[in-house]
Amino acid sequence: MSSVVVVGTQWGDEGKGKIVDYLASQADVVARYQGGSNAGHTVVANGHEFKLHLLPSGILYPGCTCIIGNDVVLDPKELLDELDDMASKNQKVSTLWISNRAHVVMPYHKRFDALEEKFKGNTKVGTTGRGIGPCYADAADRIGIRVVSWMDKEAFATELKAVLEYKNRIMTQVFGEEPFDFQAIYDEYCGYADRLRSYICDTCALMHEILEADKKILFEGAQAAMLDLSHGTYPFVTSSHPTAGAVCVGLGIGPKSIGKIVGVVKAYATRVGEGPFPTEQLNENGVKLREIAHEYGATTGRPRRTGWLDMCVVKYAAQINGLDCIALTRTDILDTFPEIKICTGYKFNGKLLNEFPASLKVLGEVEPVYETLPGWMTSISGIREYDKLPSNCRRYVERIGELAKTRIGIVSVGPDRDQTIVLEPMF
């Protein structure tokens, strides 16, 4: 068995899509284990740009099998839009399977998402508004609609009527909004079901067939460690578990099925939405990082907050994921910085902290301890061998590995697939 988990180590947007796309070319199977259409990355193939939110990255490789697991929340309209976009561009796609245990994102989830954010006012989380949190909440509250019920028109009607009776009471009596129309939702979603029916299966059983066949498997998640529901900067987190441990629950496999765990680290830091961000640069350095790297959300278009690399975050992510190695991305964005800072620790009330703080109050008040390294002041985008990188660039890369106590496995020097320096094989 050969399997690789790719996880984000910061607040998402680390360039994980590029690393997953690169590794997908070597994989037999790409399996998505959590998240929903609030994820997003852009992949270029055959001269066309594709924005993927739900489809696994391996979808662009016809020989690859793609799986959407049981802990992914499925927005059928979004998924069909992605498939239709590929068809309109004559893009060949791989085999796709969707778990019959996955939960379905419904119109009321999106509406509640927006209303709840509005209600929270200054304490809003900054969600994408795509209904992901409310869908996961319904799953935990045991009133969610799973794919297996959605595919059965009679069962779907029964469950939808029951949940709308509850949702409409909240909609009208708490928010003072118009109720949802059962027939409109039922007809719309039955139409989606008819189009997607051939993709549905028991992906847990399928995963075990794949494992027994000793295929190369790439496990793909959405978001990143600092947005994990349990381990991230709660409540400014996503509603699922982007960390490596979620692979087992999200696909119905055991821990022994996980091989190598690769953490994607962006060479600087970004964050979308609300929440503390100790190394944020609200100055010319932050603006320069954003504009050079075009740091705007693939899903929302929102400008990302930018700052220096925070190794307190990366070290914490390495611990909770059990990282085997790091894939360092967007290193080329730092080409024109004469000095580059790395946060190596946090001080709180004048004392150096020994752990990543759970308290947002503490995290919002910490003083980053910086180490300043010299920049390399030259383009590295054309370099394909590690030893040919400028010495200051290698020094920066190696310092990251030292601080994280984790090997560097990949250094990315640009967005294209061939702009990838591999220091150790992933499969």
**Active site residue ranges:** 13, 41
What CA dihedral angle connects 34, 37, 38 and 40, to 10 degrees?
100
* Dihedral, 395, 243, 28, 16 alpha carbons, nearest 10: -50
Q: Using alpha carbons only, how large is the chain's radius of gyration in Å?
A: 22
Q: How many CB atoms lie within 10 A of CB 2?
A: 16
Could you give the CA distance from residue 15 to residue 315 in angstroms, rounded to a whole number?
18
What is the C-alpha separation between 156 and 160, in angstroms, rounded? 6
Is the CB of residue 281 less than 8 Å from the CB of residue 269?
no
Q: Please give the Cα distance from 96 to 70 (Å, whole number).
A: 14
Written as six digits, the tokens of 120 are: 């929270």
